[in-house]
């Protein structure tokens, strides 16, 4: 095994721990976005006309895929990763093995993205069962989910590396995640927002992810697909690079 693949031991270690807590993890990270989908999709959707040229349940479901990925990946890279960093001091223990800070951060990054992808797959499966998926092109949403998970995991790991306690994550969710969720086209089209807000929304990672997933799942053309992918890749790589530097400083 090459040195570049050592991070997979961190992924496997986290998977084995997660397997023991599977029930609680599924309730917290999978059911929350599914409740949003079913509750708003059938409840509010029955009162709304076509939204963005789509039945509201289709519009909402294709956006909730990315919301589920964002929520699950962020939660794992914040609360769970911080517990391993500060409370359990797992990362310090791993460094006693032939592992580096880069191995740890990349392993946490990939693991959080995989958990986020699992949430997205759960919502996509529900959409398929409801007949809301149009065509086999929806399978291309899987790498989009993974890329979205990497983008949000990278950002969250930066916050984790800077945080002094769990309380700091409240600021991150309240001031960044929640506003982004509301303006990125998950619940309603961004075209309905004021022009200044639209400009901000178009550079947010959730907006890029939502446009990609919605087009793939519903079989609709995607304007600027290459740009959306490039933006998510840039956010993901920048996030994990900055997180690696901050974690190395903190552990030192």
Domain ranges of the chain: 3-251
Would you say 206 and 68 are in contact if contact means Cβ atoms under 8 Å apart? Answer: no
Three-state DSSP class for 51? strand
pLDDT per residue of the chain (252 residues) written in tens, 0 to 9: 457 789 999 999 999 999 887 777 677 666 776 777 777 777 777 777 788 888 888 998 899 999 999 999 999 999 999 999 999 999 999 999 999 999 999 999 999 999 999 999 988 988 888 888 988 999 999 999 999 999 999 999 999 999 999 999 999 999 999 999 999 999 889 988 999 999 999 999 999 999 999 999 999 999 999 999 999 999 999 999 999 999 999 998
For the stretch 101-131, what's the b/e string if a residue is b when 16 or more beta carbons lie within 10 angstroms of its beta carbon?
Answer: bbbbbbbbbbbbbbbbbbbbbbbbebbeeee
Helix 101-129, helix 205-218: angle, nearest 10: 40
Residue 28 confidence (pLDDT): 64
User: Nearest-CA neighbor of 167 among 252, 86, 242?
Assistant: 86
Residue 144 confidence (pLDDT): 97
Residue 10 confidence (pLDDT): 97
Residue 1 confidence (pLDDT): 47
């Amino acid at each position: 095994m090459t040195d570049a693949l050592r991070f997979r031991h961190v992924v496997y270690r986290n998977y084995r721990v997660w397997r023991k807590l599977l029930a609680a993890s599924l309730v917290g990270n999978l059911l929350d976005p599914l409740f949003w989908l079913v509750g708003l999709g059938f409840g509010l959707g029955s009162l709304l006309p076509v939204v963005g040229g789509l039945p509201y349940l289709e519009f909402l479901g294709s956006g909730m895929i990315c919301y589920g990925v964002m929520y699950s990946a962020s939660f794992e890279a914040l609360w769970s990763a911080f517990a391993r960093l500060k409370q359990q001091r797992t990362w310090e223990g791993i460094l006693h093995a032939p592992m580096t800070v880069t191995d740890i951060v990349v392993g946490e990054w990939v693991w959080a993205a995989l958990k986020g992808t699992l949430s997205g797959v759960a919502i996509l499966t529900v959409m398929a069962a409801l007949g809301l998926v149009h065509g086999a092109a929806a399978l291309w949403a899987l790498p989009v989910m993974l890329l979205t998970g990497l983008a949000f995991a990278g950002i969250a790991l930066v916050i984790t590396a800077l945080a002094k306690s769990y309380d700091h994550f409240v600021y991150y969710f309240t001031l960044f995640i929640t506003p982004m969720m509301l303006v990125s086209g998950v619940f309603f089209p961004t075209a309905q927002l004021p022009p200044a807000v639209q400009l901000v929304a178009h550079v947010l990672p959730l907006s890029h992810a939502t446009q990609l997933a919605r087009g793939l799942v519903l079989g609709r053309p995607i304007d600027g697909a290459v740009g959306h992918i490039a933006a998510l890749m840039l956010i993901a790589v920048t996030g994990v690079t900055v997180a690696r530097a901050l974690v190395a400083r903190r552990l030192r």
